[in-house]
Amino acid sequence: MLILHTSDWHLGRSFKSTSLLGDQKAFINELIEVVKGRRVDLVVIAGDIFDRGLPPAEAVVIWNDALARIIETGAQVVAIAGNHDQGERIEMKPALTNPAVVVRGTREASLATMEFDDGPLTVVTVPFLDPFMARDLSQGEGAATHQSVIEGALAVVADEVAKSDRSLVVAHTFVTGGQESESERSLLQVGGSDQVGAQVFDGYSYAALGHLHRPQEVNGPTVAYSGTPLPYSFSENHAKSMRLVTMSVTGEVTVETVPIKAGRPVVTIKGSFEELLKGDEYTEYESHFVRAHLTDPTTQPGARDKLRERFAHILELNYLFFDDGLTTILDSEDFENKPDVVVRTFWEDVTGEPASHLEEDLLDAAIRAGFNDGGSA
């Protein structure tokens, strides 16, 4: 059988205020072509289907359309909630009663036996488990951790998994040894670790993981992240791909990487204003999403607009004023017209990570309060 492992679609996400809905639709089109062309039996989405717990309507439309189109090919679907998703919400769609679709968002491990032409597959789904909310699953003494709750969740289904000839576990977590990007939301809990050991997935034919945005294997080819289908930060300048897993009736696995063409590549360029404006070495980046680091000793009037004439998709402009770090310059146009973008960018610069759902709500409330107090609208 063929399993197409994907994760972290983050439907509805923007990149520095630029909508990615068009690129996300293009990715879905590519995915459907792979499913049809390779006769994929099972499509896996290992969490973070949406970028927010309350996704925009356009993102929900893309998700519903993707499910319908996958089912039309004859493939089955397994999807789980990630730390960006609202688990109960993604389980509410009436069409999910289709036996070809397994979507799990609740705080537990679930086991299902799915039938394929070459025989059954035991599938275990482990949505994102917040250690505090899922502390009843924790085994051992002391405070619940990511490790302890996942161990506890998998222990519930361990006997059934051991009886199967082949098995798949789909989980959204940070496995020790994985490499982060700039765009993952931290799972770290006060006083605990945000990581789990790869050995928790011992005994499974394949572990399809989500959360880390870089495609990577953390314990050989059978415990791996597919990564995001699109770049969601400037650190994601690597090739994007899906993992096509061939699994025999006895659970032996081989893996093929399927490149993703959708999406605009990202690049960080560095030089003086004149060098970036005229240098031939930057020509290949003119269609990229661009982050520019200027080395000029003083700010350059109108730098963003002038650079945008060459780099139409420049999204971030910084000045390297100091040897020990960056000073981000936010132009007045962004501040006046997109205060929410500026505030979230400032938050990420200061804290080193995106705001949580609660923090976003508080920031939005603060912005509205500022405008009601006499700020510009």
pLDDT for the residue numbered 73: 96
Instruction: Give me the CATH number covering residue 26.
Output: 3.60.21.10
Report the candidate in 324, 376, 330, 352 with the shortest Cα–Cα distance to residue 17: 330
Whether the CB-CB separation of 164 and 158 falls below 8 Å is answered with no
pTM score, whole prediction: 0.82
Domain end call among 243, 259, 275: 259
Domain end call among 236, 259, 282: 259
pLDDT for the residue numbered 10: 96
Examine the domain organization and report whether 110 and 88 are in the same domain.
yes
Report the candidate in 163, 160, 173 with the shortest Cα–Cα distance to residue 126: 173
Examine the domain organization and report whether 270 and 220 are in the same domain.
no
Task: Write out pLDDT tens, residues 228-256.
Answer: 999 999 999 999 999 999 999 999 999 99
Examine the domain organization and report whether 181 and 304 are in the same domain.
no
Whether the CB-CB separation of 12 and 59 falls below 8 Å is answered with yes
Examine the domain organization and report whether 214 and 279 are in the same domain.
no
CB-count burial class (<10 Å; 0-12, 13-18, 19+) for 216? middle
pLDDT for the residue numbered 192: 43
From first to last of its 377 residues, what are the pLDDT tens digits of the chain?
999 999 999 999 999 889 999 999 999 999 999 999 999 999 999 999 999 888 999 999 999 999 999 999 999 999 999 988 887 787 766 555 677 888 888 767 789 999 999 999 999 999 988 777 766 677 766 677 888 888 888 988 999 999 999 999 999 998 988 877 765 555 544 334 678 889 999 999 999 999 999 999 998 999 999 999 999 999 999 999 999 999 999 999 999 999 999 999 999 999 999 999 999 999 999 999 999 999 888 888 889 899 999 999 999 998 886 555 555 544 433 433 456 666 766 666 556 566 776 777 687 677 666 555 444 33
Q: Is residue 240 part of a domain?
A: yes
φ, ψ of residue 162 to 5 degrees: the values are: -65, -25
CA angle 317, 319, 322 (to 5 degrees): 150
Q: Is residue 119 part of a domain?
A: yes
Examine the domain organization and report whether 238 and 272 are in the same domain.
no
Examine the domain organization and report whether 46 and 144 are in the same domain.
yes
Q: How many domains does the chain have?
A: 2
Q: Rounded CA gap, 79 and 44, in Å?
A: 6
Length of the chain: 377
For the chain, helix (H) and strand (E) counts, in that order, are 9, 20
Tokens 């804290």 correspond to 351
pLDDT for the residue numbered 194: 76
Q: Rounded CA gap, 85 and 9, in Å?
A: 11
Count CB-CB contacts under 10 A for residue 325: 8
End-to-end CA distance of the chain: 56
Examine the domain organization and report whether 6 and 135 are in the same domain.
yes
Burial track 135-169 (b if 16+ CB lie within 10 A, e otherwise): bebbeeeeebbbbbbbbbbbeebeeebeebebbbb
Residue 186 DSSP one-character state: P
Q: Residue 344: enclosing H or E segment and its boundaries?
A: helix 339-351
- What residue type is 89 in one-letter code? R
Examine the domain organization and report whether 131 and 20 are in the same domain.
yes
- What residue type is 71 in one-letter code? I
pLDDT for the residue numbered 104: 86
Q: Residue 21: enclosing H or E segment and its boundaries?
A: helix 21-38
Examine the domain organization and report whether 26 and 138 are in the same domain.
yes
Examine the domain organization and report whether 67 and 158 are in the same domain.
yes
Q: Rounded CA gap, 207 and 357, in Å?
A: 28
Domain end call among 204, 229, 259: 259
pLDDT for the residue numbered 332: 33
Task: Write out pLDDT tens, residues 288-335.
Answer: 999 999 988 888 888 989 999 999 999 999 888 655 555 554 443 343
Whether the CB-CB separation of 289 and 315 falls below 8 Å is answered with yes
Examine the domain organization and report whether 216 and 321 are in the same domain.
no
- Domain range for 292 is 266-329
Q: Rounded CA gap, 56 and 44, in Å?
A: 23
